Amino acid sequence: MNFCSSCGSAVSLTIPAGDDRERYVCVSCEAIHYTNPRVIVGCLPVYEGRVLLCRRAIEPRRNFWTLPAGFMENGETSAGGAARETWEEAEAKAIDLQLYRIFDVPHISQLYMFYRCGLEDGAFGAGPESLESALFDEADVPWDEIAFPVVYKALKEYFDDRRRGEYPVRVSSIERLKRPPA
């Protein structure tokens, strides 16, 4: 952030009185501009035992497969956002949403929330951010072409849970990948 969204003056990074971390503070009107983590909401849609994945039409990770997910919008619930993303990316109506997986990704200040859900009438398509969508049995999932580690992990856990017949809600953190020593 370079300029105050209230008055247009420059901002500086300082610790406001009574606070414990740096914030962008306007040098003119003294408005404090807080930035907080972003929430990504998505679905793990299942129809007749198969999981719906979308092949990304956009960067990052174009051509790779993912679960429908995206940034939560103001004024919606997390489940509502997950269903909206499923409609936008896979033209599928998510039903019976159940919270399933939370990932904290603190080094990029993101929180992921995935809901298990059904698919109304088994219908789906491909929205503008997807090249195609498809239903996969476990053996047919393109495991080497999954776009993001959180999606890979959630899918693996889902198929394991299904074998056990229970779907506990899990919360864990994804840490920054360490560079190999030079």
Contact residues: Zn ion, CB under 5 A = 4, 6-7, 9, 26, 28-29, 31
CB of 23 to Zn ion, least distance (A): 13
10 vs 171, beta carbon nearer Zn ion: 10
The one-letter amino acid code at 125 reads G
Residue 55 φ then ψ, to 5°: -95, 125
3 vs 71, beta carbon nearer Zn ion: 3
Residue with tokens 């889902």: 158
6 vs 14, beta carbon nearer Zn ion: 6
CB of 11 to Zn ion, least distance (A): 7
CB of 74 to Zn ion, least distance (A): 22
CB of 31 to Zn ion, least distance (A): 5
6 vs 172, beta carbon nearer Zn ion: 6
Q: Is the separation of the CB atoms in 11 and 24 below 8 Å?
A: yes
- In residues, how long is the chain? 182
Residue 102 φ then ψ, to 5°: -120, 130
No. of helices (H) and no. of strands (E), the chain: 2, 11
